[in-house]
Amino acid sequence: MAYYDRTFRLGFGGGLTKAIKYLLIANAAIFILQMALRLSGAAPYLVNLLGMRPAEVLSSFYIWQLFTYMFLHGDPWHLIINMFFLWMFGCEVERTLGTREFIKYYLVCGVGAGLFHLIINFSSPVVVVGASGAIYGVMAAFAVLFPERVITLLLFLVLPVQVKAKYLVMVFAGISLLLGAFGSNDGVAHFAHLGGMLVGFIYLRFDGHLNRVGGWLRQQQQSRKAVQNLKKSQAMQQIREQVDEVLDKINEVGYDGLSVEEKRILQDASQKFSQETEPDN
């Protein structure tokens, strides 16, 4: 299977992977619980308990919030966008890393994103919720695994734009860096996004996974090259068989007795064989 030049479009196939399916269900179920509690006025208690408030994590040792915050969301659009990107990038990453390793990687990125935000905003009383940090880590893994994959997006939901995965992730990282460094009033924890990407890359690099990924990519490249060589060999064999048939006819009726198509076969074969035997400069 060659992953280097395939185009990656919204709505691609391949089936929903196990970990992604359970993560989608878990996030949706918890959000439904949030909505149910909101009707009864009890939602703030759940958010305050499970959302990450940096000041409380440090002062009251609410360590579990570094884990639980990534399963809460502020509104339906927050949930939908996060789950869409998780599905879009996560399935292929899970297929490559394996389900168990993917779950561990996802949680490490989510906790790492929380820690990154905590270090920068250690005294903040604002509650942080959302899976974005973990998902940015998944996007970083996708860029490492499939850097040359072309992704087709609809800009403004109308204009199709194609960009390689590595550049798309760089754009996301750059936007988060700029908005985080210069400040914004959008209520988004941009440094948590960067933290998820950074922790994900470090995890892949120092846990030895990046080396295995590199080996896997080299194996895929070798397989792709072998398939190309096989197809080329088969094509040349087919040309030789056609030439043999034409040469047999020449022996019977002479060159002038050949049809226009048979003469074209000889000419094309002569060019292809000469290209095969030309020394490399």
Q: For the ranges 23-37, 68-82, 90-104, 202-216, which has the lowest average pLDDT?
A: 202-216
State the architecture of 7-207 in CATH terms.
Up-down Bundle (1.20)
Domain ranges of the chain: 7-207, 227-277
Alpha helix (H) residue ranges in the chain: 18-40, 43-50, 54-59, 65-68, 76-97, 99-120, 132-145, 165-182, 190-206, 209-253, 260-277
- Split at pLDDT 50, 70, 90, the class of 3 is very low
pTM above 0.75, yes or no: no
Q: Is the pLDDT of residue 64 over 70?
A: yes
Residues 51, 55, 56, 59: what is their CA dihedral angle, to the nearest 10 degrees? 160
pLDDT mean over 156-181? 75
